[in-house]
Amino acid sequence: MKLALQVLLTTVVATAALAGCGGSDGPQTVNGCVIEPSTSCASVDLSGADLSGADLTRATLSGTNLEDTDLSDSNLTEANLSSAQIVGTDLSGADLTSANLTGATITGANLDGATLCGTTRTDGTVDDTSCPATTETTDTATTETTTTAVSDAELTSLDVGDLDCGAAATGPVTVSWEASNATAVEIAVDGLSPAGFGPSGSTTVVVPCDGESHQITVTPQSDAGPGQAESEDVSSG
């Protein structure tokens, strides 16, 4: 009888452990969001989750609720955190290289030791606080100093979806992109009010539904300045 009871208790404990962590054979999942590189979890509620040390490289977390979330020592390189709720969030030791924080709400967050290099701030400007110094080498024979050249930013892919208006005055258009040698990109509709985003990602822009053709322009940015812009036209007509 004691042996049977011990086996039963062991089974219950093991089952409870697997239910709590999602099993050891796959990545952690929180509210349907798979915690892994390049995951797409826009507007998901991850508040209070323990994501310390998580690899969320190039993750889409735009509009995501990260209130009181533990993201200490996590890798958020090139992650899209635009319009995210970063309130009381622990980002100590996190890598935010080339991450996009445009429009995010940041209050009471712990950023001690976080890496900020090519990071797009909430206002669309770029934060290079933690970037390594420019590497310089000196030829002692000629006393000439050589500075490592910075390659121009360029778009490697751009996809602009169709404008779906219905009966509305404006309609959404999905824009997806990837850029190389870039710290950010700027997206503008008809050249007006460009907004900053990370060097790769996806977002939705609003275009007038007036039957006219409108131009969406994406411009890659780097420390060397803007790269070659690409434009595509959309129309509700």
- 124 or 2: whose pLDDT is higher? 124
Q: What is the pTM of this model?
A: 0.49
pLDDT of amino acid 152 = 86
The one-character DSSP state at 196 is E
Q: At residue 23, does pLDDT exceed 50?
A: no
How would you class 98 by CB atoms within 10 Å of its CB: exposed for 0-12, middle for 13-18, buried for 19 or more?
buried
Domains observed in the chain: 32-131 (2.160.20.80), 154-235 (2.60.40.10)
- pLDDT, one tens digit per residue, over 155-183 is 999 999 888 887 788 888 899 999 999 89
The pLDDT of 27-51, averaged and rounded, is 94
The amino acid occupying position 8 is L
Tokens found for residue 51: 């994501």
Residue 78: closest CA among 126, 111, 118: 118
Looking at residue 135, what is its pLDDT?
52
DSSP 215: E
What are the DSSP calls for 116-164, one per residue?
A: -SSEE-TTS-EE-TTPPPPPEEEETTTTEEEEPPPPPPEEEEEEE----
Residue at token pair 């969406």:
216
Check residue 66 and give its pLDDT: 96
**Tokens encoding 153:** 């930013």
- Quote the pLDDT of residue 87: 95
Q: Distance between CA 202 and CA 41 in Å, rounded?
A: 12
CB 25 within 8 A of CB 45: no
pLDDT digits (tens, 9 = 90+) for 80-116: 999 999 999 999 999 999 999 999 999 999 999 999 9
Rounded-to-integer distance, Cα 106 and Cα 69, Å: 12
